[in-house]
Chains A and B, each alone.
Chain A
Amino acid sequence: MLIVTNVSKSYGKLSVLENIDIEFSNGVYGLLAPNGAGKTTLIKMLTTLLFPNEGEILYNGTNIFHMGDGYRDILGYLPQEFGYYKNYSARQFLNYLAALKGLERNLAKVRINELLELVGLANVADKKMKKYSGGMVQRVGIAQAMLNDPKILILDEPTAGLDPKERVRFRNLLAELSRDKIVILSTHIVSDIESIANEIIMIKDKKVLYKDSINSICKTLEGMVYETSIDYAQANRFRNHYFSLSEKQEGDKMKIRFISENKLDDSWESVSPNIEDVFLYVYKDEVIKEG
């Protein structure tokens, strides 16, 4: 169990996270929040790159910052901006990281081969990484995160740069792994976690807004999401009244999906809210600020 207790973090006078309380146990957690909400900060604290100003993070009862090697031994981390040595091959790079992770030499060899196979890079394992496509580099990143068979796997935007086929593959892989691990996925791509996340964590206004199953979170918008078709000319007026979630061309009309407290028109069709709807709705002030 990984428990975040009353954790706060600020940079100088700028407070980023306040009184964060989260409990993680085995399973897949989706960390959903726009950039700047404190997502990366939280992840960096979980990976010991940052130190909380207040509160503690405990793994099986012990403060992770006091555990030293022991914590990082069971940690696998794929950062958002993933740095690597251009002149190394994937195998050489994984070898280097295996040494850093304290893997015994022979075990490392075996493991590396397995992982290269798993992420589909076995053919190009000995080519210099500067020749890799973005997707290939990302796959190396995923492989290195799993080198030490971690109990806690933290992946920041892991599917960035992967094509849809690779993303499916990745999703299946994660689903398998998560049975005996804590997997924390930070992503914007809802489809990544929709099918595999046990719980979604949303951070808003420096605090945890939701930590619940997808179903439960979607229920918060139950009966508030509608779809209808309107003329393009009316689109603007419509948007001024109701919060638009998505818009699609359908023939000569626009199909709009939106939020309304009540059903105010028969042509409106009530639909089941999905997690993306909740995301857009919850963060709409920030969206409007940007827009």
Chain B
Amino acid sequence: MRILAHELKKIFNIKTIILLILINIIMYFLFTEYDINSFTINRPSYDIYKMFVEMEEAYGEFMDEEEFQDFKIKYEEAIKEADAYIQSREDFKRAGVNNYEDFINMDRENEDLNQLYYDVVFDKGIDVFWQLPWRKEYIKYYENREELMLAQAANEKQELRVKEILDKGLETSVFNYAVFFNYNSLMKSVSTSILVSVMFIITPIYLRDNKDKINYLQYTSKIGRRIFKKKLLAGLLATFILVTIQFICFFSIYSTNNTSMFFNKNINSIYNTIISWYDLTFIHYITISVIGTYILALAITLISMLVSSLGQSYIAVIGIQLPIGFFIIITASRYLINYMTSISYPKYFLELAYVVLILISLILMITRWKKEKQADILY
């Protein structure tokens, strides 16, 4: 136990911690910050989000036929609001635009009319004009939801799954792509930051002692070569601690996006851009993305330790870790963390990929341990 504590202290030494914090701050500003801030700025995503918050309060988890009628009424009300706004402005009257219908049919090739459009939509940013096109779209979606869902199935298995969803009525879930996409985007940046951080603190574990010949003293002491296993354990623990802290920070920041009302909403909604093999709610999805990241971090820990125990110098090890890290992080953020369980991938692709990744890294590390037990310590 003491040895484990010692090894952990070596991993989390003060210089490493300082650099770790700096690295994370920089990665936050380079990648994550945009998605956090833009959530409340980007249009129409933010408008859609607000629309759905309203819907959630009124309709709950799913939108049934009755509620849909209400939604259509809201649409009509919104049009009236737009009409009222247009009619309140002299310049619209002069241009011969008297209601919302005229507005969307304006000839935007005309300079003046185009100016008016810009003024309302961009300069003044009147909410209802952003919402209306999407209310209309979503009404169409709801009315044609069966066709639209089925159209996304590219093969038999997918079709079966879609039918399953339709049977359960999950597609009327009050959930939207704005929230989902934003979360996935964020998750990509966050998992990248996490994986880079893990590689940073784990890579020196074996190398540090090996290159300074401290392993002479370690291997000849009572604990001997078993220190290898202790370091392995220390590395895994360190990763677990690091990832947990980073997730705590992330979710604290994410909570400012206020999406918790959607946590229990099924992600297989017609208004969302994913069809999943499983009946996941948003919070389920968040959970599996977190678990996925832990598994990836675990795999990268094992691989980094493998490289660390084989390397001769820091530069050599960095030279090897760079392509490995690059490859894993790119693959992970494209296929393993992004839009997880989507039917565009084969059903068990995700599970298999993770299992294979862990197995390979475990096997490699175990082999390395076996070798180290019997190896001549030459250098």
B222 touches A81 (CB 8 A): no
Contacts of B212 in A (CB 8 A): 83-85
Does B220 contact A47, Cβ atoms closer than 8 Å? yes
A159 at the interface (CB under 8 A from B): no
Q: By the criterion CB–CB under 8 Å, are A49 and B216 in contact?
A: yes
Determine which of A82, A101, A144 lies in contact with B222 in the assembled complex, contact meaning CB atoms within 8 Å: A101
Chain B residues within an 8 Å CB radius of A82: 213
Interface string of A53-66 (1 = CB under 8 A from B): 00000000000000
**Interface-located stretch among A92-100, A231-239, A264-272:** A92-100
Cβ contacts under 8 Å, A85 to chain B = 212, 214
With an 8 A cutoff between CB atoms, is A102 at the interface? yes
Interface pair A101/B221, CB less than 8 Å apart: yes
Closest to A76 in B: B220
Q: Could you tell me the distance in whole angstroms from the C-beta of B113 to the nearest C-beta in chain A?
A: 71
User: Is A100 in contact with B218, judged by CB distance below 8 angstroms?
Assistant: yes
| Residue pair B223, A49 in contact (C-beta under 8 Å) | no
Partner of A97, one of B217, B376, B377, B378: B217
Interface of B is mostly: helix
- Interface size class on chain B is 20 to 34
Task: Report how far A82 CA is from B212 CA in the complex, Å.
Answer: 8
The answer to whether the Cβ of A258 comes within 8 Å of any Cβ in the partner chain is no
**Which of B13, B217, B374 is the most central at the interface, judged by chain A CB atoms within 10 Å of its CB?**
B217
**Does A48 make an interface contact (CB < 8 A)?**
yes
A72 nearest CB across to chain B (Å):
5
Q: Do the beta carbons of A51 and B223 come within 8 Å of each other?
A: no
User: What B residues does A87 contact at CB under 8 A?
Assistant: 13
Cβ contacts under 8 Å, A83 to chain B: 209, 212-217
Are A100's CB and B377's CB within 8 A? Answer: no
Which residues 64-111 in A have Cβ within 8 Å of B in the complex? Answer: 68-69, 72-73, 75, 77, 79, 81-85, 87, 96-97, 99-102, 105
**Contact present for A79 and B217 (CB under 8 Å):** yes
B376 contacts A51, C-beta separation under 8 Å: yes
Q: Which of A69, A81, A105 contacts B224 (CB 8 A)?
A: A69
Which one of B6, B213, B216 has the highest number of Cβ atoms from chain A below 10 Å of its Cβ? Answer: B216
Does A50 sit within 8 A of B, measured CB to CB?
A: yes
Given contacts A44-B377, A50-B377, contact A100 B222 (CB under 8 A): yes
Among B209, B214, B220, B378, point to the contact of A72 (Cβ < 8 A). B220
Question: Bound state CA distance, A99 and B216, in angstroms?
Answer: 15
Considering the complex, give the chain A residue whose CB is closest to the CB of B212: A83
The answer to whether the Cβ of B219 comes within 8 Å of any Cβ in the partner chain is: yes
Query: How many angstroms between the C-alpha atoms of A44 and B379 in the bound complex?
Result: 11
Proximity bits, A1-30, B CB within 8 Å = 1, else 0: 000000000010000000000000000000
A100 and B217 contact, Cβ closer than 8 Å, known pairs A69-B222, A73-B222: yes
Cβ distance A145 to chain B, nearest Cβ, rounded Å: 9
Chain B residues with Cβ below 8 Å from A84 are 212, 214
When distances are taken between beta carbons in the complex, the residues of chain A under 8 Å from B245 are: none
A187 interface contact, C-beta 8 A: no
In the bound assembly, the distance between CA atoms of A97 and B213 in angstroms comes to: 14
> Is A186 interfacial (CB-CB < 8 Å)?
no
Asked if B216 and A100 sit within 8 Å, CB to CB, the answer is: no
Q: For residue B216, which residues in chain A have a CB less than 8 angstroms away from its CB?
A: 49, 77, 79, 81, 83
CB-CB under 8 A from B13, the residues of chain A are 87
The answer on a CB contact under 8 Å between B377 and A49 is yes
Determine the residue in chain B with the shortest Cβ distance to A81. Answer: B213
Residues of chain B lying within 8 A (CB to CB) of residue A148: 221-222
Q: 3 shortest A-B CB distances, which residue pairs?
A: A83-B213, A83-B212, A102-B222
Measuring CB to CB, which residues of chain B are less than 8 angstroms from any residue of chain A? Answer: 2-3, 6, 13, 209, 212-224, 226-227, 374, 376-378
Q: Known contacts A49-B376, A75-B220; can you find 17 more A-B pairs with CB under 8 A? A: A49-B220, A49-B377, A50-B378, A68-B224, A72-B221, A72-B222, A79-B216, A83-B214, A83-B216, A83-B217, A85-B214, A100-B3, A100-B221, A100-B222, A100-B223, A101-B223, A102-B221
Instruction: List A residues at the B interface (Cβ < 8 Å).
Output: 11, 44, 47-51, 68-69, 72-73, 75, 77, 79, 81-85, 87, 96-97, 99-102, 105, 144, 148
Sampled A-B contacts (21; CB under 8 Å):
A11-B378, A50-B376, A69-B222, A72-B221, A72-B223, A72-B224, A73-B222, A79-B216, A82-B213, A83-B209, A83-B215, A84-B212, A84-B214, A85-B212, A85-B214, A99-B3, A100-B217, A100-B218, A100-B222, A101-B221, A101-B222
